[in-house]
Amino acid sequence: DCGGGEPLSAAVAAALDAADVSAALGTAPPHLWLGALLMHDEPPPEAEEEAAWRSLSGAPESEHLVKLVTCTLSASEASVLSKATATAHAGDLYLGSAALYFLGSRTAFVKERRELSLPYSSIADVRKKSGKLPASKGITLTLAGGRGPASVVLTGFAAPNHVRHLLETLVSRCSPLLARERLTENVALRSKFGLEHDPSLFVLAEFGCALVHAEGSSKGKLYVTQRYLCFKGSLFGRETRAVYAFDEVLSVEPCESPAPNSISLACTTSEERFTFF
């Protein structure tokens, strides 16, 4: 049992069966990638995306593509970008299992495509980049080494928070420099919700939504950690904060009330509804 239900268990079993066949034929690779087990919340990339990433990045067989997204990249030091200045470039960002690879788009105004290959082991910090406009929100990566840390800024994502948390997961598995629980955002979250007694907590995912009250809905954000759901929102200028421990949750079910894409959360002492995801 892989802890992810029948689809995940079946995917892992199929990968292991394929490895057994390869071993019997003498063609087994030195590494076995169980992407469904490590990143079971991410849909697998298309075969064409995987092939394009491998041909562009020259990644070894032991590495695999996790996700492909479009974004805009800029760097604080020209040396970080190959054949580039420190200006911003739009393009494709390939998130591999051990490194990220960026390839800028070629346009009528940009003849030379910009490239960046960055192993996760060289990343010391992953931070949220705020902005007034959606296109300016994104991620700042701090790189270790050299005379001082350079920074790479990624913006223009369709879902910046999702990509940021995915990057945190990938980097923390490869970089001894990054501990997710010590990231600024996670320290602030534990303080905000009175969870300082559990210093290993960090945000796995976050969702904009609203918590339904008798007098209305508090619009805010729902944070998912390893052991708690934490909500922070406001209604008529009045702040709402709530913490739900997983060991007190009886069920989480989708519902269509008060709006589509709502969920009902039943706990030992209360029942809540979250909507407008």
Residue 36 and residue 47 in one domain: no
The yes-or-no verdict on residue 10 having pLDDT over 90 is no
- Whether residue 59 is contained in a domain is answered as yes
- 221-273 residue pLDDT tens: 999 999 999 999 999 889 999 999 999 999 999 998 888 889 999 999 999 99
Residue 110 and residue 203 in one domain: no
Residue 88 and residue 215 in one domain: no
Residue 22 and residue 95 in one domain: no
Residue 19 and residue 95 in one domain: no
Burial of 58 (0-12, 13-18, 19+ CB in 10 A): exposed
Tell me the percentage of the chain whose pLDDT exceeds 70: 82
Residue 18 and residue 54 in one domain: no
Residue 156 and residue 69 in one domain: yes
Q: pLDDT grade, residue 43 (50/70/90)?
A: confident
Please give the tally of structural domains in the chain.
Answer: 3
- Whether residue 169 is contained in a domain is answered as yes
Residue 123 and residue 50 in one domain: yes
- Whether residue 186 is contained in a domain is answered as no
In this predicted model, which residue has the larger pLDDT, 29 or 137?
A: 137
- Whether residue 183 is contained in a domain is answered as no
- Whether residue 185 is contained in a domain is answered as no
- 154-193 residue pLDDT tens: 999 999 999 999 999 999 999 999 999 999 999 999 999 9
Task: Give pLDDT, residue 3.
Answer: 44
Report how far residue 250's alpha carbon sits from residue 246's, in angstroms, rounded to the nearest whole number.
Answer: 8
Task: Give pLDDT, residue 113.
Answer: 74
Please tell me the least confidently modeled range out of 109-113, 150-154, 266-270: 109-113
- Whether residue 187 is contained in a domain is answered as no
In this predicted model, which residue has the larger pLDDT, 274 or 256?
A: 274
Residue 62 and residue 173 in one domain: yes
Q: How far is CA 101 from CA 46, 138, 177, in A?
A: 17, 17, 20
- Whether residue 188 is contained in a domain is answered as no
Residue 34 and residue 64 in one domain: no
Residue 173 and residue 242 in one domain: no
Report how far residue 152's alpha carbon sits from residue 141's, in angstroms, rounded to the nearest whole number.
Answer: 5
Residue 229 and residue 155 in one domain: no
CATH number at residue 231: 2.30.29.30
The yes-or-no verdict on residue 148 having pLDDT over 80 is no
Domain residues for 94?
42-178
Task: Give pLDDT, residue 18.
Answer: 74
Report how far residue 102's alpha carbon sits from residue 192's, in angstroms, rounded to the nearest whole number.
Answer: 35
